[in-house]
Chains A and B, each alone.
Chain A
Amino acid sequence: DGGITQSPKYLFRKEGQNVTLSCEQNLNHDAMYWYRQDPGQGLRLIYYSQIVNDFQKGDIAEGYSVSREKKESFPLTVTSAQKNPTAFYLCASSLLGTGAYEQYFGPGTRLTVT
């Protein structure tokens, strides 16, 4: 059963702590993406990766870090430097990162930082 999984579904952290969100896909897609969604705003791109061991900053990368050591996995770390980390985080993947291909999304992780 192919798809994208994100874990956990809900995550609670204290301010000042780093937290890592998991994203795994078994679609054999080369490109993976992380988005942030806030109420009343469109999705905003945090980071994306077109190939293993390579990734690029999106529009709002400050306070976040990623790694792409395996094709199937693209974890996102929300660091203590991110000023407003509470949000809904969505991971996506596409066959290639050329922009011509459909993106498929995971179920999301809701992060709450207090």
Chain B
Amino acid sequence: KQEVTQIPAALSVPEGENLVLNCSFTDSAIYNLQWFRQDPGKGLTSLLLIQSSQREQTSGRLNASLDKSSGRSTLYIAASQPGDSATYLCAVTPFGNEKLTFGTGTRLTIIP
């Protein structure tokens, strides 16, 4: 059974710093991996989708990498801003399965 882990559960970083969020998964047979952002009391916003054949994806200050063989993904946020404060979730879609498996998220706080 696929399991997705995000450590740490919470992270505080001063404004302006670059940071990395981690995601690990137990089964490398995946279609893709998605990173989402969730603000308190809100739905999820898709940030980046990495297909299994890709190594990374970039969108603005965000860069997500995927290493299937080691079961790891990272989300790199450059020049962090207070508006980046949110919970970041990763999720994988296993092969032969239409269902996303989610991690429990990392709650990020950017300190002004």
Known: A90-B44, A108-B43. A99 touches B97 (CB 8 A): yes
Q: Cβ of A48: which chain B residues have Cβ within 8 Å of it?
A: 98-99
Spot the interface stretch: A11-19, A36-44, A68-76, A77-85: A36-44
> What's the minimum C-beta distance from B101 to chain A, rounded to whole angstroms?
8
> What's the minimum C-beta distance from B75 to chain A, rounded to whole angstroms?
16
B56-112 interface with A by 8 A CB criterion: 89, 91, 93-95, 97-105
Q: Cβ of B93: which chain A residues have Cβ within 8 Å of it?
A: 99-100
* Interface residue count on the B side (C-beta < 8 Å): 27
| Option from B41, B45, B98 in Cβ contact (under 8 Å) with A110 | B41
Bound Cα distance from A40 to B6, whole angstroms: 12
Bound Cα distance from A15 to B91, whole angstroms: 33
| Option from B42, B51, B91, B102 in Cβ contact (under 8 Å) with A108 | B42
Bound Cα distance from A31 to B98, whole angstroms: 10
Q: Cβ of B49: which chain A residues have Cβ within 8 Å of it?
A: 102
**Residue B32 at the A interface, CB < 8 A?**
yes
A54-73 interface with B by 8 A CB criterion: 58-59
Known: A102-B34, A110-B41. A45 touches B46 (CB 8 A): no
Evaluate contact between A103 and B34: CB separation under 8 angstroms.
Answer: yes
Q: Contact size class for A?
A: 20 to 34
Q: Cβ of A41: which chain B residues have Cβ within 8 Å of it?
A: 104
**Residue B21 at the A interface, CB < 8 A?**
no
Bound Cα distance from A110 to B30, whole angstroms: 31
> What's the minimum C-beta distance from B91 to chain A, rounded to whole angstroms?
8
Evaluate contact between A99 and B98: CB separation under 8 angstroms.
Answer: yes
Q: Cβ of A45: which chain B residues have Cβ within 8 Å of it?
A: 99-100
Q: Cβ of B36: which chain A residues have Cβ within 8 Å of it?
A: 105
Evaluate contact between B103 and A42: CB separation under 8 angstroms.
Answer: yes
Evaluate contact between A97 and B102: CB separation under 8 angstroms.
Answer: no
Q: A42-B103, A43-B44, A98-B98 are in contact. List 17 more A-B contacts (CB 8 A).
A: A6-B43, A41-B104, A44-B102, A99-B32, A99-B93, A99-B95, A99-B99, A100-B51, A102-B46, A102-B49, A103-B34, A103-B100, A104-B46, A105-B36, A105-B45, A108-B41, A108-B42
